[in-house]
Structure 1
Amino acid sequence: MRNALYLSTPARAQAPSLEVCLAKTAAEVLEAQKLRFNIFSEEYGADLGSNGIDHDVFDAYCDHLLVRNSQTGEVVGTYRILAPENAARLKCWYSETEFFMNRIERLRKTTVEVGRSCVHPDYRNGAAIMLLWSGIAQYMKLGGYKHLIGCASVSLRDGGHQAASLFKQLEPHLAEASCQVFPKNRLPVERLRCDVEIEPPPLVKGYLRLGAVVCGEPAWDPDFNTADFMMLLSIDRMSPRYARHFGFI
């Protein structure tokens, strides 16, 4: 699977050519970890130490999806993917460090977990994130996986009011009870304002466009200073437009 995944955008005069592939070497994984560090520490205020690298025990079990500027060689976007076979080796999903997930235990063998999504600020015009999603779609097709889970994060630099307001906005997209999860360290949304004007982050909007649902209240991640919303996307419930675009139908 590592050698099969390779997609690219056509070169354009106005924008650099981008390509997406899975990291094949430790050096390429390190590039992703450095980008993650820069984004998470600067934009979320995460305390990740001083070595310039974001890493944890899950990295060694994940495939790392990279978007690279083919002209400069710079890694400008990344997503890490935990296949169910590797989650079984770990005996858990990363998300289980934040949520009680018993209700979706039945999906474990067919579920890919994605996380640590980030795109360089200069490449947030949509092309990089679409390449990442295209790469994930191809990964799922090659592996025959049926479901995807992942967290979408909102900064808590404002004290949590934007996150609480976003949760209120997302209520129409709440998963059915059989697919809900429960935060181990919940954000106390009832103590926060829920009327703050907030534009859903691009990752949240992307999930919703694809047909994903939000699995319940957000978890409070003190290490990254974020509220994390668990999202679930089932291929058989994907928006027909994107199911066709990604080749599922």
Structure 2
Amino acid sequence: MVALVKGRYVAREAENADDVAAAQKLRQVAFHGDDGDLDQDSFDPICTHILVEDRSTGTLVCCFRFLPLAGGSEIDRSYSAQFYELSALQAFEGAMVEMGRFCVHPDYSDPDILRVAWGAMTTYVDENGVELLFGCSSFSGTEADEYLDAFAMLRDRHLAPKRWLPKVKAPNVFRFAARLRRKPDLKQAQLRMPPLLRTYLLMGGWVSDHAVVDRQMNTLHVFTGLEIAAIPPARKRLLRAIGA
């Protein structure tokens, strides 16, 4: 059971339907820009939901969900498998967790929120013997032009190992690894990289060679994988210190 208190914030697992509805409400605000409905799908009932709350006000400031899989043989059960052909990962033998629907309340920009979220993820990974964390990392909007430096950097430095590389499945994709010829401006690449993806990459994460154009969510997203054994020891210690 994830339960983490750090400074101003507390991270915990959703305990009931009201907690899940609160996460769906925050997702609606963060992803769709309004609070008139709930962002929900068929994966919510089979996932573990993590909530990060402001201790002083009780405000839900961040949420995400985990879908545990026993190994690669179950990869087709994942949300990501709707968009990516993941047959290569069927050979992965260790326990896996898909992390999805990560969002932060638009009124909050405190970097400690992301730190606490990663502390909670680390706790969950350690408690459940997870060997691969994966999901879809999203760029806001469906136009790639403003992210070309970021995509060029992903092409040059962070593509998935060939043995795990996802193939194209979605009907509308941006094949940045094959089509981009520009040399990335590294400063612009970092500025345009989504914070969650940036953190994955700092820990040794890798991405697909194409981005899916998801008009329903108004995002471009890349499949992202993080093999736990590949995380640099110093960064593991830092994450575990947050989760302690």
**Same fold, TM-score > 0.5, yes or no:** yes
Residue in 1 that maps onto 2:56: 71
Q: Unpaired runs of 5+ in structure 2?
A: none
Shift of 1:187: 2.0
Q: 1:187 aligns with which of 163, 171, 174?
A: 174
Residue in 2 that maps onto 1:19: 10
2:71–2:90 CA contact under 8 A, matched in 1? no
1:61–1:86 CA contact under 8 A, matched in 2? no
1:84–1:109 CA contact under 8 A, matched in 2? no
TM (normalized to structure 1)?
A: 0.84
Residue in 2 that maps onto 1:8: 5
**AA aligned opposite 1:35:** L
SS of structure 2 residue aligned to 1:122: coil
Structure-2 separation of matches of 1:122 and 1:114? 23
**AA aligned opposite 1:235:** I
Query: Would you say 1:162 and 2:146 are equivalent positions?
Result: yes
Segment drifting more, 206-215 vs 194-203: 194-203
2:72–2:90 CA contact under 8 A, matched in 1? no
Q: 1:173 to 1:91 in 2, by over 3 A?
A: closer
Segment drifting more, 67-76 vs 84-93: 84-93
TM (normalized to structure 2)?
A: 0.85
Shift of 1:91: 5.3
SS of structure 2 residue aligned to 1:83: strand
Q: 2:197 aligns with which of 192, 199, 204?
A: 204
Cα RMSD over matched residues?
2.6
SS of structure 1 residue aligned to 2:37: coil
Shift of 1:113: 0.3
2:94–2:132 CA contact under 8 A, matched in 1? no
Query: Would you say 1:31 and 2:25 are equivalent positions?
Result: no
Count of aligned pairs between the two proteins: 232
How much identity, in percent, do the aligned residues show?
A: 28
Deviations 1:3-29 (A, max 9, x none): x3211112xxxxxx2100000111001
Residue in 1 that maps onto 2:223: 230
Query: Would you say 1:239 and 2:232 are equivalent positions?
Result: yes
